[in-house]
Every structure is written in structure tokens, then in C-alpha cells.
């Protein structure tokens, strides 16, 4: 016997993500609550990129899916620096994933120097999580070094046609040619 949802009874105003569902043909009427993580409103300025201060990073070695299934874009997460890596955890301390080695090495050095960072969830899927890392504050002595190298711009060289040499060179001599 299959049990199908019959109707939605109530959507709570105080908790908009909580939905009560009555199941049809069940021996007793049961309530199922679907909890959704409601951390804060998503604002476009949160993901504004600044060269040298922000970076989008794909996480490696993702944790258990139940640790990140309820994460929403724009939600704050924590950066935890260890001896050989920088991990990303939820505010509850549940492991989500880790940063790539090159970025981890740079961030560990800067965090030890006193820099402070904010990490936000950019996107979540079962096989890929992207976080947005923003430098909030520079430590003493770190004023000259950017946290993240600016993206390299591919330049396409262009030489105007008037500067291209022709097949026959124009030769002018300054020497006098002796007369015969």
C-alpha cells in the first residue's frame, strides 16, 4: 500500500520553512515537518568580487552529504586552519570539505599573520561545493601582500597593418656613391 500526501494543512508564519503534511490512508494522522535552514537573506553585495581580496574556491574531499544538504547560498561557514590544510565547517563544526593545497598554504600563512576571512557558500550540489572567501581584515605587517593573486588576463597581441614590414625593404644610404 502506498501512502501519498493528501494536502498541506498549514504553513507556519513564524517558521516559513516548516510545512505540516497530512498523509492519506495512514492508520493515524501523522505530521511530518520539513525543516529548512533559514540563516539570512541573500544579498547581491555578498558576492561582489574584489581583485586580491576575494576568491571563488571549489572544495575537495567533501564530507558526508547530511553535513551540507541543508546549506544555502550565502550562508556563513567557518575556515579552520590545521597544520597541512584549511577545512571548511558549518557553524556547528560539521566538516564540509577542504580548500585546495595552494590556497590552503597561502591562507594558513596569512591567518597566522593576523588576517581575518569570511567564507560563504556559493553553490551546493552532491558532488561539488563552491565557497566565496573574502578578506575582512589585514594583520599587522601584511598590508602589502594581496590574499589572492588577481586572475591572469590573457592578452591578445595585435600589430596594426601599417607597422608590418613589407617584403621589399626600403634602403636609404647615407654614403656617397663614387662616380666613374
Q: How far apart are CA 17 and CA 49, in angstroms?
A: 30
Mean pLDDT of 127-149: 83
pLDDT exceeds 50 at position 114 = yes
**161 within domain boundaries:** no
Mean pLDDT of 114-139: 88
**pLDDT value at residue 51:** 78
Q: Are residues 79 and 61 in the same domain?
A: yes
Report field, pTM of the whole predicted structure over 0.85: no
Q: Are residues 53 and 133 in the same domain?
A: yes
Query: How many structural domains are present in the chain?
Result: 2
pLDDT digits (tens, 9 = 90+) for 54-84: 888 898 988 888 888 888 888 889 998 888 8
Q: Buried (b) or exposed (e) across 60-90, using 16+ Cβ within 10 A?
A: eebbeeebbeebeebbebebebeeebbbbbb
Length of the chain: 180
Q: Which residues contact 94 (CB under 8 A, 6 or more apart)?
A: 63, 67, 68
Find residue 135's DSSP bridge partners: 117
Give yes or no for a contact between 148 and 54, defined as CB atoms under 8 angstroms apart: yes
Mean pLDDT of 32-40: 48
**pLDDT value at residue 145:** 77
Amino acid at each position: 500500500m502506498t501512502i501519498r500526501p493528501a494536502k498541506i494543512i498549514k504553513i507556519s508564519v513564524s517558521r516559513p520553512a516548516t510545512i505540516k503534511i497530512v498523509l492519506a490512508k495512514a492508520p493515524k494522522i501523522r505530521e511530518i515537518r520539513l525543516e529548512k535552514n533559514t540563516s539570512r537573506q541573500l544579498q547581491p553585495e555578498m558576492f561582489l568580487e574584489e581583485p586580491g581580496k576575494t576568491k571563488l574556491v571549489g572544495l575537495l574531499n567533501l564530507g558526508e552529504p547530511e553535513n551540507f544538504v541543508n546549506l544555502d547560498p550565502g550562508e556563513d561557514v567557518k575556515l579552520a586552519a590545521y597544520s597541512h590544510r584549511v577545512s571548511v565547517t558549518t557553524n556547528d563544526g560539521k566538516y564540509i570539505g577542504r580548500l585546495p593545497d595552494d590556497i590552503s598554504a597561502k591562507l594558513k600563512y596569512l591567518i597566522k599573520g593576523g588576517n581575518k576571512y569570511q567564507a560563504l557558500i556559493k553553490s551546493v550540489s552532491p558532488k561539488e561545493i563552491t565557497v566565496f572567501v573574502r578578506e575582512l581584515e589585514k594583520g599587522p605587517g601584511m598590508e602589502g601582500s594581496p590574499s589572492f593573486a588577481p586572475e591572469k588576463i590573457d592578452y591578445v597581441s595585435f600589430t596594426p597593418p601599417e607597422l608590418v614590414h613589407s617584403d621589399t625593404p626600403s634602403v636609404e644610404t647615407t654614403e656617397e656613391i663614387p662616380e666613374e
